[in-house]
Structure 1
Amino acid sequence: MEIKILVDNTAKGKFLAQSGFSAIIKDNDSKILFDCGQNALVFENNLKLMDEDDNFDAVIFSHGHYDHTDGFNYFIEKYGENLDVPIYIHEASFVDRYHGKRYIGIDENIKDFLKNYKNLKIVEKPVKISENLIISGTIPRNNYYEREDFEKIENGQKTEDIILDDMFVIVKDIILSGCTHSGLINCVEHAKTLKDVNGIIGGFHMGSVSENYINQVKDYLNDQDFRLVSPMHCTGFNATKELSYVKGFKFGHVGSVFEI
């Protein structure tokens, strides 16, 4: 099995970088897309630069933020109603979301397409797609984590948004996260109730957290003794620097290929 990073804030060589995340999961004869980044053009260009086609067997969205979903316009523009692959998304992903005055939810065109899509799979509880791939479903938040001031529209009013739809996938024994809005420790602890895990890669959402929290996560990961730890996307420079001292650390970027 392998995980190829298609969209990330950092790129190497010929690839394009953009804030967001997308990864390709390959397992025997299947190819799964996890998130789509924020832009169809970047998504398409990196796909071509990787010599990958777009014949995915399924699409999984980690949560309903534009930088993980809006690259999906590539599929709408190319295939429209002829698209027919299962798409997995949490039921809470369709809310209107804001960070201050800025809208950060799913593009309205994509929302409308997905709501009427014939092969949409609404996820709340864990879903086992195959022997080597499990979608987390809703992540219990039993351990401390730091949140940003995200908001959503509910009954016509802005209220706090804790990103209830935040999900990850377990690829064999590695956690692949979009943003870990639920907190990295909560994600790993939930994963351990589903399967034995030995690593985590993806966005850790630690760009604006306190030094104390960075140290808490660092100590926790050291205790896990994982074989692979690769923070990307929203992890932030300071957190990535500190986590580089954790056993199993590997710097990740667009073009990275992880053999699982």
Structure 2
Amino acid sequence: MKIVTLLENEAAGGLCAARGLSQYIETPRHKILFDMGPDASFAENARRLGVDLSQVDVAVLSHGHSDHGGGLRAFCEVNSRAEIYLRPDAFGEFYAVKPGQAPCYIGLEPSLWELESRLVPSAPGLRLDEELEFLGPVPAVFSWTPRTPKLQEKTPGGFAADTFSHEQHLLVRAWGKTALFAGCAHGGIVNILRAAQAQLGCRPDAVFGGFHLFELDPADPESEQALRATGAALAEGETVYYTGHCTGDYAFGVLREMLGERLRPMHGGTVAEL
């Protein structure tokens, strides 16, 4: 299978860069778009990279944050055929809430719901065919999971911690290889990886996604302990990891020290083949 990172926080070769993520996946049966970044930049990059988005037949939104779904309308403008799979509550009222600051809306633009006829509610474990399936429930089995108290959802009673029930992960099988696409991995990359291993019956050959570790503090000993525990868990087996976006330079550096060439950046323009 071929994986092209259309958009990420960094880019090479004069491509657009923006805080967000969008990836194109090509298999024998499908042309897949996984996330659409914060705006139309991913579509411009696709044009420059020779990726024809009009031929995408399956699109997936990993979760309801605007840095992954803000380009949804731009995708629908260049593609009239693909069904777009998202969790039923992806249009929740999601905010970043920091002490002393006004809550900042980070959810999908409500007007995108006008595209309802293109949107298909998905569920954990949903299988589309022998190549594509969504990861089932992700139990919190690992001793450490990223904690992001600022990420909250507005409810009738005020703000509450985001449970990330709107997050989903895609498993792709092709040519005897398996890949896991994890978006931001808010549920914890190790938890997600272990759930994928249980569902597949083996560890995936590759993982693509942000690990949401960018807020870890290099001066905090607990941060390094958490990173090294994460790295040790990821080091099991032979899985190769392509990461960026919300992983952060500090976390990438520590994990690269532990995983070596098995940890690779996925900046805009990166092409991987399995």
Length-normalised TM-score, structure 2: 0.86
C-alpha distance in 1 between matches for 2:75 and 2:16: 19
CA contact (8 A) 2:22 2:37 kept: yes
With 25-34 and 136-145 compared, the bigger mean Cα shift is at 136-145
- Percent identity of the aligned residues? 28
C-alpha distance in 1 between matches for 2:49 and 2:29: 18
Alignment CA distance shift 1:201-1:10 (3 Å):
same
1:138 deviates by 4.1
Any gaps of 5 or more consecutive residues in structure 1? none
Which letter maps to 1:46? N
Match of 1:175 in 2: 180
C-alpha distance in 1 between matches for 2:36 and 2:86: 13
C-alpha distance in 1 between matches for 2:36 and 2:75: 10
- 1:103-155 CA deviation, whole Å, 9 max, x = no partner? 00011121x224x32x4321222122232222214422232302212110122
Any gaps of 5 or more consecutive residues in structure 2? 98-102, 217-222
Match of 2:215 in 1: 208
CA contact (8 A) 2:211 2:244 kept: yes
Figure out how many residues of one structure are paired with residues of the other and give that number: 252
Which letter maps to 1:129? L
1:165 deviates by 1.9
Which letter maps to 2:185? T
Match of 1:236 in 2: 248
Match of 1:99 in 2: 96
Which letter maps to 1:250? R
Match of 1:109 in 2: 111
CA contact (8 A) 1:146 1:213 kept: no
Match of 1:68 in 2: 68
Which letter maps to 1:199? A
1:148 aligns with 2:127: no
1:249 deviates by 2.0
**Which one of 185, 194, 198 corresponds to residue 199 of structure 2?**
194
CA contact (8 A) 1:185 1:217 kept: yes
C-alpha distance in 2 between matches for 1:137 and 1:155: 29
Which letter maps to 2:255? L
CA contact (8 A) 1:138 1:164 kept: no
SS of 1:130's equivalent in the other structure is coil
SS of 1:46's equivalent in the other structure is helix
RMSD over aligned Cα atoms: 1.7
C-alpha distance in 2 between matches for 1:168 and 1:240: 21
SS of 1:87's equivalent in the other structure is strand
Alignment CA distance shift 1:47-1:174 (3 Å):
same
SS of 2:138's equivalent in the other structure is coil
Match of 1:85 in 2: 82
With 31-40 and 133-142 compared, the bigger mean Cα shift is at 133-142
CA contact (8 A) 1:179 1:234 kept: yes
CA contact (8 A) 1:139 1:167 kept: no
Match of 1:257 in 2: 271
1:8 aligns with 2:21: no
Match of 1:159 in 2: 160
1:29 deviates by 4.3
Alignment CA distance shift 1:198-1:95 (3 Å):
same
C-alpha distance in 2 between matches for 1:19 and 1:73: 18
1:68 deviates by 0.3
C-alpha distance in 2 between matches for 1:13 and 1:107: 30
C-alpha distance in 2 between matches for 1:138 and 1:70: 26
SS of 1:171's equivalent in the other structure is strand
CA contact (8 A) 1:139 1:166 kept: no
C-alpha distance in 2 between matches for 1:165 and 1:183: 14
CA contact (8 A) 1:138 1:167 kept: no
